[in-house]
Structure formats: C-alpha cells, structure tokens
A = this chain, B = another copy of it.
Amino acid sequence: MAIILKGKEVVDKLNDELLARSDALKEKGITPTLGIIRLGERPDDLAYERGAIKRAEKTGVAVEQFIFDADITQDELIAEIDKINEDPEISGVLMFRPLPGQIDDEAVRNELAPEKDVDGITDGSMAGVYSGGGNGYPPCTAEACIQIMDYYGIDPRGKNVAVIGRSQVIGKPVSMMLMQRNATVTVCHTKTNDMAGICRDKDIIIAAAGHIGTVTEDFLSPGQIVIDVAINFDDDGNMCGDVEFDQAEPVVQAITPVPGGVGTVTTSMLMKHVIEAAEKRENLI
C-alpha cells in the first residue's frame, strides 16, 4: 500500500503563497501577466491553455493571448515576439511548441527575451538548468517533479535515481536539477539495456518516457519512490502515465498518480515563474 503523492495538496499550498505574492505586486500597481503565444488550434495546446487560464485566475495572474494562424511566416512570428518582448505589461511568455514546419524552432525560441522566458525554452534558461546557475527558468514540468518531492519531504541527496527519458522538457532538466540536489542520477532511454534491472535497485524512479506500460513490476522494489511524469491516453481514452499503477502501488513506498500528480502541479510552476519575473522586473527580489 503505497503513499499516493497527490498533486492537489501541493497546488493548494502553492496557490495560497502565489496569490499573496500577486496581491503584494498589485498593491504596488503591478499585475503579473502571462502572455500565451499560440499558433492555430491544436487540441493539446487548447487543453493546456484552458488549464493555465484557470490556474492563473487562482493565483492572481492575468493572461493575455496572442493567437496567430498556423501558417504565419517565421519573420512575422519573430516580429510579434519582438513586440511582446517590449510590452511592459507582459511579465512572462508561454509559447506552444512544436512550431509548424515553416518555422525554425531554434531561431524563434531564442528571440524571446530571457527575462520573459518563464517556460525555459531559450539558451540562457537551458544553460542555467545545465550549469545549476541562477539564470532563466527550468521547464515547468521538470520543476513540478522537484516541487512534489519537496512538498512530501523526499530529499534526493545521496539517493540513487533513475530518470527514464532524455527529453529537453523533462528527462534532461529533471536529471540536472536532481544532480544539483546531490542525487546520483542514471538517465535511461530507448537504447538502455536492461532498464528494468537498472531501475529496480534505485531509490527513486522518475518516469518520463511518454509510453504506456514502460514501468512494470520488474522495474520495482519495496521502499522506492516513483514519480510518474507522463501523460498518455489508453485505448479507451483514459489518461494514464508510464507506470503500471496497479503493479506499482502494492510494492513501492510512494507514487504519484496520473491524473492528479505531476501534471496538476505544472501550471502552478508556470504561474510561480510569471510572478517571479514580475517581481524581478520591479527589483523586488
């Protein structure tokens, strides 16, 4: 019988803290504001956007949407980003990616002003996560894993951690953040041999493969903490993670549910970054 590491508790505590910080900013005449850049109407983007808008309301963050046709040219998009960079009302920017094929992701993401890069997509933010320096912001989902661990008192220091997945948005940044917190991290991926054996003797597993059924009982052992980052959908359309929850729950010490775990916390990280960006802009911190 594992402890279920629910995201809601983490979020409730965070929302209160963030709302207080937003209120403090507003008393100084500043409204922390998230700019959302969306190209077209991709269902995933729309779902995340709805969640972000709701979370923004709860944390006192305003939202301004910048919606463009999916066939916008690269030059046009860059011009729009430049305008948003210069707009003093926008504290931070979320830009949905992947961008359509006519646009070079590399060129566009680095156009964003580093101080508004609340989703960690610019080189400066990446270098900050990689170096453990204070620059920029880490990707929100990676930080959500850390936030959940912090909330539940799980200290990664000296622990052996397997991270499954090496993506820029989760696997790599969460590995760097855990290493920064003195964990010994092994990064597993599609070319890893005997992933089950590697994971089985670890203290903590971070599952971010993005494939249903990646983590089965042969990956697991008593005492483990399992953080399931993935958002997959099964044949019946039900949301599920990478971990076979029914196999894990009787064995491990604690596990995040999907839905209701890491994903729940992600948009709160975004709001935290927007508020931080607004505070920094005003030299309050």
Judging by beta carbons under 8 Å apart, are B158 and A193 in contact? yes
The docked-state distance in angstroms from the alpha carbon of A157 to that of B158 is: 27
**Which of the listed residues A123, A130, A186 has the most CB atoms from chain B within 10 Å of its own CB?**
A123
Q: Distance in Å from the Cβ of A199 to the closest Cβ of chain B? A: 11
The answer, yes or no, to whether A99 is at the interface (CB within 8 Å) is no
Judging by beta carbons under 8 Å apart, are A184 and B160 in contact? no
* Residues of A130-169 whose CB lies within 8 A of B: 130-131, 133, 135, 157-158, 160, 166, 168
State the number of copies, please.
Answer: 2
> Across the interface, which residues of B come within 8 angstroms of A131, CB to CB?
126, 168, 172
> Across the interface, which residues of B come within 8 angstroms of A160, CB to CB?
193, 198
> Across the interface, which residues of B come within 8 angstroms of A13, CB to CB?
none
Q: Distance in Å from the Cβ of A190 to the closest Cβ of chain B? A: 8
Interface residues, chain A, CB within 8 Å of chain B? 106, 123-124, 126-131, 133, 135, 157-158, 160, 166, 168, 172, 176, 179, 182, 184-189, 191-193, 198
Judging by beta carbons under 8 Å apart, are B123 and A192 in contact? no
Q: A123 is contacted by which of B124, B158, B186, B187 (Cβ under 8 Å)?
A: B124
Q: Distance in Å from the Cβ of A109 to the closest Cβ of chain B? A: 10
Q: Distance in Å from the Cβ of A179 to the closest Cβ of chain B? A: 6
Using CB atoms, name the residue of chain B closest to A171.
B179
Q: Distance in Å from the Cβ of A59 to the closest Cβ of chain B? A: 29
Using CB atoms, name the residue of chain B closest to A128.
B123
Q: Distance in Å from the Cβ of A161 to the closest Cβ of chain B? A: 10
Listed by A's residue number, 12 A-B pairs whose Cβ atoms lie within 8 Å are A123-B128, A130-B130, A131-B168, A166-B179, A179-B189, A182-B191, A184-B187, A184-B189, A184-B192, A184-B198, A185-B186, A185-B187
Judging by beta carbons under 8 Å apart, are B186 and A186 in contact? yes
Using CB atoms, name the residue of chain B closest to A188.
B184
Instruction: Please judge, given known A-B contacts A124-B123, A166-B179, A184-B198, whether A172 and B130 are in contact too, CB under 8 Å.
Output: yes
Q: Distance in Å from the Cβ of A127 to the closest Cβ of chain B? A: 4
Q: Distance in Å from the Cβ of A104 to the closest Cβ of chain B? A: 12
> Across the interface, which residues of B come within 8 angstroms of A126, CB to CB?
123, 126-127, 130-131
Using CB atoms, name the residue of chain B closest to A106.
B133
Judging by beta carbons under 8 Å apart, are B192 and A158 in contact? yes
> Across the interface, which residues of B come within 8 angstroms of A179, CB to CB?
166, 187, 189
The docked-state distance in angstroms from the alpha carbon of A150 to that of B133 is: 32
> Across the interface, which residues of B come within 8 angstroms of A168, CB to CB?
131
> Across the interface, which residues of B come within 8 angstroms of A128, CB to CB?
123
Using CB atoms, name the residue of chain B closest to A159.
B193
The docked-state distance in angstroms from the alpha carbon of A123 to that of B135 is: 10
The docked-state distance in angstroms from the alpha carbon of A182 to that of B130 is: 19
